Amino acid sequence: MRLPLFIVVPVFFIACATVPRVPGEPLYLSKCGACHQRPGRGSFDASGWREVLEGHQSRFPLTKEEMALLSEFLAGGTGQ
Ligand code: HEC
């Protein structure tokens, strides 16, 4: 059965709107508390975070996308 477009299109937009707006957050929550306390967001800027994450590559590898998402998320915090 083909769904009419006037149903498919709004459903598509609603689905997109419910995707987390900060895609790095689930990664941060699941990965960054495993070995030490989760570091505060905003302790470094995006390039500082990238360096921290690159330094972590030998401990646990992240893909380029994961690193980009994480450094963006981490740099956006207010330092709590
Ligand atoms: C496999 C274990 C492990 C995981 C997972 C991990 N870390 Fe670390 N992290 C460490 C260790 C060990 C140190 C401290 C020793 C060192 O710096 O060599 C550290 C230190 C740090 C530091 C202090 C600065 C530095 O680079 O030494 C920051 C900031 C940090 N981690 C952030 C993170 C973030 C953000 C994540 C999630 C992406 C994360 N860590 C996940 C093991 C881990």
Digit-coded pLDDT (tens) for 47-80? 899 899 999 999 988 999 999 899 889 988 654 4
Which pLDDT does position 20 carry in this prediction? 52
Could you write out the DSSP letters of every residue in the chain?
Answer: -PPPHHHHHHHHHHHHHTS-S-THHHHHHHHTTSSSPPPPTTSS-HHHHHHHHHHTTTTS---HHHHHHHHHHHHTS---
Digit-coded pLDDT (tens) for 8-37? 677 766 666 665 567 889 999 999 999 999
| Span from the CA of 19 to the centroid of ligand 1 (angstroms) | 28
**pLDDT at residue 1 greater than cutoff 70:** no
Ligand 1 atom with the shortest distance to the CA of 59: 1
Backbone angles phi, psi at 77, to 5 degrees: -80, 175
| Span from the CA of 61 to the centroid of ligand 1 (angstroms) | 12
Ligand 1 pocket, CB under 6 A: 31-32, 34-36, 39, 52-53, 55-56, 59-60, 70, 74
12: its two tokens? 């598509």
Which pLDDT does position 46 carry in this prediction? 84
Which pLDDT does position 35 carry in this prediction? 94
